[in-house]
Amino acid sequence: MILKRLTKPGAADVQQFQLNGVKLTLPDGLATQEIVAKLRDGSYEADEARAADRCVRQDFRVLELGAGVGYVTALCAQRTAPENILSVEANPDLLPVIQGNLAANGLSGVSVLHGAVTGAADDGATAQFRISDGFTGSSLDGKGGRQVEVPLIPVYDLIRAHKPHVILMDVEGAEADMFSRPWKCPLRYCVMELHPRKYGPNVIKRVVDFMSAMNMTYDPVTSRGKVLGFRKVWVAGEQDDDTQ
């Protein structure tokens, strides 16, 4: 629900919201009316929030690719610990919003990186990133909007450094290039938003095959619509986290 609108001297108006106990502040003009409406009625990133509630456990490390305004980031940090979260966002306009929202919820220990996550990239590589009206839908291959140069960050480097138990991914189609070699981490859950308008069913099949090869299976609890969830297949002698 929306709480109030604030105006600070010399600053743009901002709106405040609260979703699932998370306080969020959003500057006017940064989001479309549709996004603001979802923040007001509580439906903003509802599927992703539900998935985070399902996946993230105490002491789990979480890698979040595409942070938005930091809402799901905050939920994850509350369930494990801020220092266990590594979040990456390509849109530079959102970085102070994310940091401000995390601070407002007492979660400043989250690591937030600026960059566009990709499958592979040379050291120091950059790319042109299109920022759409509002902020959802911004991407490396977007059209219209404002164009900015952002660092490219290989997903394999992030996984090797952070060793996540949970990966949450909403990168507007860039996920198509992230499944060429195994992820070396103690992965328990992976939840991603698919973008079938940007690639064909062969890419979705590659994702499913990749996850199966990593002993991951379809998770109906975290999956809904274009949000596709996977969970580890527990083997004999290994305790399912759901029983703890």
Query: 53-57 — which CB contacts under 8 Å span 24+ positions?
Result: 53/79, 54/189, 54/219, 54/221, 54/222, 54/229, 55/166, 55/168, 55/188, 55/189, 55/191, 55/222, 55/229, 55/231, 56/80, 56/166, 57/165, 57/241, 57/244
Would residue 104 count as lying in a domain?
yes
φ/ψ of 155, rounded to 5, equals: -60, -35
Would residue 28 count as lying in a domain?
no
pLDDT means per 10 residues in the chain (244 residues)?
A: 40 82 90 87 94 96 96 98 97 94 97 95 92 73 79 96 97 91 95 93 96 96 95 70 39
Would residue 108 count as lying in a domain?
yes
Supply the pLDDT for residue 4. Answer: 43
Q: List 230's β-bridge partners, or say none.
A: 190, 218
Angle between helices 46-55 and 71-79 (to 10 degrees): 20
Would residue 110 count as lying in a domain?
yes
Q: 24: closest CA among 4, 47, 53?
A: 4
Q: 7: closest CA among 23, 28, 31?
A: 28
Would residue 26 count as lying in a domain?
no
Q: How far is CA 67 from CA 96, 106, 235, 236, 238, in A?
A: 12, 17, 33, 36, 32
Would residue 2 count as lying in a domain?
no
Would residue 96 count as lying in a domain?
yes
Give the helix/strand (H/E) hosting 157: helix 155-162
DSSP string, 3-44: EEEE--TTS--EEEEEETTEEEEEETTSS-HHHHHHHHHT-T
What pTM was computed for the model? 0.90
CATH number at residue 108: 3.40.50.150
Would residue 23 count as lying in a domain?
no
Supply the pLDDT for residue 8. Answer: 44
- The count of domains in the chain is 1
Domain hosting residue 125, numbered range: 42-243
